[in-house]
A and B are shown apart, each in its own frame.
Chain A
Amino acid sequence: QKEVEQNSGPLSVPEGAIASLNCTYSDRGSQSFFWYRQYSGKSPELIMFIYSNGDKEDGRFTAQLNKASQYVSLLIRDSQPSDSATYLCAVRETGSARQLTFGSGTQLTVLP
């Protein structure tokens, strides 16, 4: 069974701090990695994707990928209360016909 693991949290950080969200995956051949944000009662929306080792930055968000360690993370700088949501890690795995496997999500609360 291919797995994507996330700490369920909840993770609380003060406003303005850096929030660090982590994800590990079991399939070494995984190709693409996604971070979705899901507000309570809403549908997931894509905020970042990464497919090469290293860092990828987009505004206050940085995705980090380490394929050797099978680890992907999301950093949110200058966290805002509007960042409070559940963050889902998703992995496109080897041979899958465009399927994604999702982690269970990490609930983030940014305290004013």
Chain B
Amino acid sequence: NAGVTQTPKFQVLKTGQSMTLQCAQDMNHNSMYWYRQDPGMGLRLIYYSASEGTTDKGEVPNGYNVSRLNKREFSLRLESAAPSQTSVYFCASSDAGHSYNEQFFGPGTRLTVL
């Protein structure tokens, strides 16, 4: 039982390049989330998927797109990377049927945009 996995762990991009961050969970959770974490700013929600087939914007969606490929997988795409997108990206999942909404986090992807 791996929990939430993310690939890659590290990535360096040049401005304007594109990439997709992958996330998968094996806990049969309905809801999945993408956050970014910048120094001193806590976790900010980029996009979330309450259930398979649905996605919604969070607090900071500009410059990103997401795909809920199936119940297990939720990817985050940067179409044209900018230095302001240098951050640590965390994927999380939770069981929508659990009223306390504990979110389980993946190990993170450390992205640098030059």
Sorting the interface of chain B by its residue count into under 10, 10 to 19, 20 to 34 or 35 or more gives 20 to 34
**Do residues B48 and A97 form an inter-chain contact, with CB atoms below 8 A?**
yes
How far is B41's CA from A13's CA once the two chains are assembled, in angstroms? 23
Give 8 pairs: A residue, B residue, CB < 8 Å, sorted on A: A32-B100, A34-B100, A45-B105, A98-B96, A98-B101, A99-B45, A103-B42, A104-B41
Please give, as numbers and ranges, the residues of chain A lying within 8 Å of B33 by CB-CB distance.
Answer: 99
B43 on interface, CB distance cutoff 8 Å: yes
Contact of A43 among B58, B94, B106 (CB under 8 A): B106
Please give, as numbers and ranges, the residues of chain B lying within 8 Å of A103 by CB-CB distance.
Answer: 42
**Do residues A8 and B40 form an inter-chain contact, with CB atoms below 8 A?**
yes
**Do residues B45 and A51 form an inter-chain contact, with CB atoms below 8 A?**
no
Q: Smallest Cβ distance from A99 to chain B, in angstroms?
A: 6
How far is B40's CA from A43's CA once the two chains are assembled, in angstroms? 15
Q: Report B's interface with A, CB cutoff 8 A.
A: 31, 33, 35, 40-45, 48, 50, 56, 58, 90, 94, 96, 99-108
How far is B110's CA from A105's CA once the two chains are assembled, in angstroms? 19
**Do residues A100 and B101 form an inter-chain contact, with CB atoms below 8 A?**
yes
